[in-house]
Amino acid sequence: MWAAYLSGGFGLGMQGYITFLVPLRAHELGAGYETIGLIAAVGTLAPGLLAVSLGALIDRIGPKRGFTLGACASMLIFLVALLVTNYWWFLALQPFVGLAQTFGWLSSQGHITSLGTPEQRPMLTGRFSFFVNVGQMASPVLAGIVAQSIGLRWAFLVPAMYAAFFVVLSLVLIDTRPSGASKRTSKDGGLRSALQLTGLRGIQVALLLTFARLWIATVFNTFVPVYLVGRGFSTGLAGTVVATASLVAAVMAPTTGYWTRHMCSERATMLGLGCGAVSLLLVPHIAAVPVIYIAPVLWGVALGTSLPLLISIVTSAAPAEQRGVALGLRVSANKAAATGAPVLVGPLIAALGMALGFTVGGALALGLLAGSRLLHRADRRAPAALVEAGVTPP
C-alpha cells in the first residue's frame, strides 16, 4: 500500500517540474513571453484532447503497466531536454512531456482506486493525495536549488531522476487490471465509452464539481497575489499566502476517510469547495496581516479534500472496466476548465474591479455547487422512487 500511496507523488510533482523548468530554460535560450505561452499551451492541449484515449489504454494494459510506461517516457524525455539548445525544440517536446506525465498520473489514480472497497476509497485516495501535495510543493523547490547551483540546463536531471525513482517504484505495484478489460475497451477506443459515461448522473456531478474546483483555483492562484501586491503587500508575503493553501491541503488530504464516515463523498466535496468559495468572498475584507491567512486556510481545506474525493466519486460512478476512461474524462474536463476559466475570470475582474470581482467569483462558485447539489439529490431520489414503485433499481 505504501508503494501505491507514494505513486501519487508522480503526477503533479512531475507537472511542477514542467511548469517551472521549461519556461525558464526557454526564456534563457531567448524565447519571448508569447512563445513561452505557446509552449505551455501546447503541453496542456495535447493531454486534454487525448486523456480519454489514454484512460482507455490504461483499461486495456492495466494501471501498473501504464504507470511504468508513463514514468519511463518522462525520464527519457527529460534526458532529451538536456540536449536542447534552441527553444523551438521545446515546442516539439511539450506534447510528449504532457502526454507522458498525464499517462502516469492517470495510471496512479487508476491503481489506487482499484484497491480496497468503494467504502475505503476516500480514505485510500486521501492518503494518496497527501503525497500528491508533497510532490507538488517539493518539485519547484528542488528544481530551483539545483538550477541555482549548476544551471537550468543540467537541472533537467532532477525530473529525470525523479521519474526514474517512480520507474523502480512501479515494479512493486500489483497488477489490478480487471479480467476481460482488454476485449471491452478495444471495441470503442474510449470515446464512445466516455460519451456513455457522461449520461451517468454521478459522472455529471463529478464534472460539475471539477469545474467549480478549477474556477476557485483560477481566481485564487491567479488574482489573489496580484490583489495583495496592489494593496501594498510584498511579493514574498503574497507568496506565503499561496503557499499556506498547499500546506493546509497536504494536512487535510489524509482526513477524507474521516469525513466520509459521516456523509457521502459528494456532500463532503461540496462542503469542502464551499470553504474555497467563502475564501474568495472574504479576501477583499481581510486584506491585512494576520487575518489574510484565513483565506488560504479555507482554500487549503477545499484543495486538500476535493481532489481525493473527486477521484473517488468519478471512479465509483463508472464500471470497474471503464475506470481509466472515467479518470481520463475528468482530466479532460479539468484541462477545459483550466483553459476556459481564466478567459472568463479576467474580463470579470477587469469590468468589476478586484474587490467586487472576488465577490462575484465566489458567488458564482457557490452557484456551481448549488447546481451540483441539485443533480446529486435527483440522482439519490431516482432509486428510492423505483423502490416505492416496486421496481428493483439496476
Q: What is the pLDDT of residues 302-319, one digit of tens each?
A: 999 998 999 889 988 888
Residue 316 pLDDT: 87
Residue 394 pLDDT exceeds 50? no
Indicate if the pLDDT at residue 202 is higher than 70.
yes
Which helix (H) or strand (E) is 199 found in, with range?
none
Greatest pairwise CA separation for the chain in angstroms: 72
pLDDT of res. 381: 56
pLDDT at position 350 is 78
The full set of domains in the chain, from first to last, is 1-181 (1.20.1250.20), 201-317+353-394 (1.20.1250)
Express each pLDDT in 155-199 by its tens digit.
999 999 999 999 999 999 988 776 555 455 445 557 788 888 888
pLDDT value at residue 386: 34
pLDDT of residue 354: 79
Q: What is the mean pLDDT of the chain?
A: 85
DSSP 283: G
Cα distance between residue 243 and residue 241, in whole Å: 6
pLDDT of 379 = 64
pLDDT tens by residue, 348-377: 777 888 788 888 889 999 999 999 999 888
pLDDT score recorded for residue 370:
93
Pair 219, 342: CB distance under 8 Å? no
HSE (CB half, 13 Å, CA atoms) of 76? 9
pLDDT tops 50 at residue 104: yes
pLDDT of 181 reads 53
Q: Which helix (H) or strand (E) holds 223?
A: none
Q: For the residues 130-147, what does the mean pLDDT come to?
A: 84
- Residue 220 has what DSSP assignment? I
Sign for the CA dihedral angle at 384, 391, 205, 119 comes to: positive
pLDDT of residue 355: 81
245-302 tens-digit pLDDT: 888 988 999 999 888 888 999 999 999 999 999 999 999 899 888 999 999 999 999 9
| Between 387 and 336, residue with greater pLDDT | 336
Least confident of 55-64, 84-93, 103-112, 351-360: 351-360
Separation CA 146–CA 46 (nearest Å): 29
